[in-house]
Amino acid sequence: MSFAPDALDRRIINTLQRGLALTHRPYADAALALGIDEGTLLARLRALLDAGILTRFGPLFQIERAGGRFVLCACHAPEDRLEAVIAAINAHPEVAHHYARTHHLNLWFVLAVRRPEDVGPALQRISRAAGVEILPCPKEREYFVNLYLPA
């Protein structure tokens, strides 16, 4: 059975992608602003995640301020092995998320590690497990885009 978001789901998505207050009860405060109760908000978010309408709901961090490192990575995954390569890459806890693209470098992912010196060893493990060469693209400059995708 498919799940179609209703007007309330769209209001929740549109409101929360602008931010969640850093308070003692952020979901309760967001629910109040939306005119619903906290339980309803949490249930709606869970349903949106379970249905795949939202693939992730959580904070974005500036990991470098905490001593860690994010690295955008690319690789070529042969079409006949694409799903296996994706599974091998995603099996590593350091992989935040991935993107498939229509280019020779058809699989991109974000590596998130606690310390800069962990980048090399993590990429070696992932490369061996996935059986592909990985091209790291370290961040040179950060841009704040303020992406907003109204539902």
User: Are both 132 and 70 inside the same structural domain?
Assistant: yes
Interval 106-132: pLDDT, tens: 999 999 999 999 999 999 999 999 999
User: Are both 36 and 77 inside the same structural domain?
Assistant: no
pTM here?
0.65
Q: What gap in Å lies between CA 54 and CA 61, rounded to an integer?
A: 19
How buried is 122 (Cβ within 10 angstroms: 0-12 exposed, 13-18 middle, 19+ buried)? buried
User: Are both 45 and 67 inside the same structural domain?
Assistant: no
Provide the pLDDT confidence category of residue 3 given band limits of 50, 70 and 90. Answer: confident
Interval 46-66: pLDDT, tens: 999 999 888 777 777 778 888
CATH number at residue 133: 3.30.70.920
User: Are both 72 and 22 inside the same structural domain?
Assistant: no
- Top pLDDT among 151 and 80 is at 80
Whether 83 is covered by a domain: the verdict is yes
User: Are both 80 and 134 inside the same structural domain?
Assistant: yes
Whether 145 is covered by a domain: the verdict is no
**Tell me, what's the pLDDT at 137?**
94
Provide the pLDDT confidence category of residue 1 given band limits of 50, 70 and 90. Answer: very low
**Tell me, what's the pLDDT at 145?**
67
User: Are both 76 and 133 inside the same structural domain?
Assistant: yes
Q: In the beta sheet, which residues pair with residue 84?
A: none
User: Are both 102 and 130 inside the same structural domain?
Assistant: yes
Whether 112 is covered by a domain: the verdict is yes
User: Are both 29 and 67 inside the same structural domain?
Assistant: no
Whether 73 is covered by a domain: the verdict is yes
User: Is pLDDT above 80 for 18?
Assistant: yes
Whether 117 is covered by a domain: the verdict is yes
Q: What is the mean pLDDT of residues 23-36?
A: 95
Provide the number of structural domains found in the chain: 2
Whether 134 is covered by a domain: the verdict is yes
Burial of 7-19, coded b for 16+ CB within 10 Å and e otherwise, reads eebebbbeebeee
Q: Residue 116: which domain range?
A: 63-138
User: Are both 93 and 32 inside the same structural domain?
Assistant: no
User: Are both 69 and 123 inside the same structural domain?
Assistant: yes
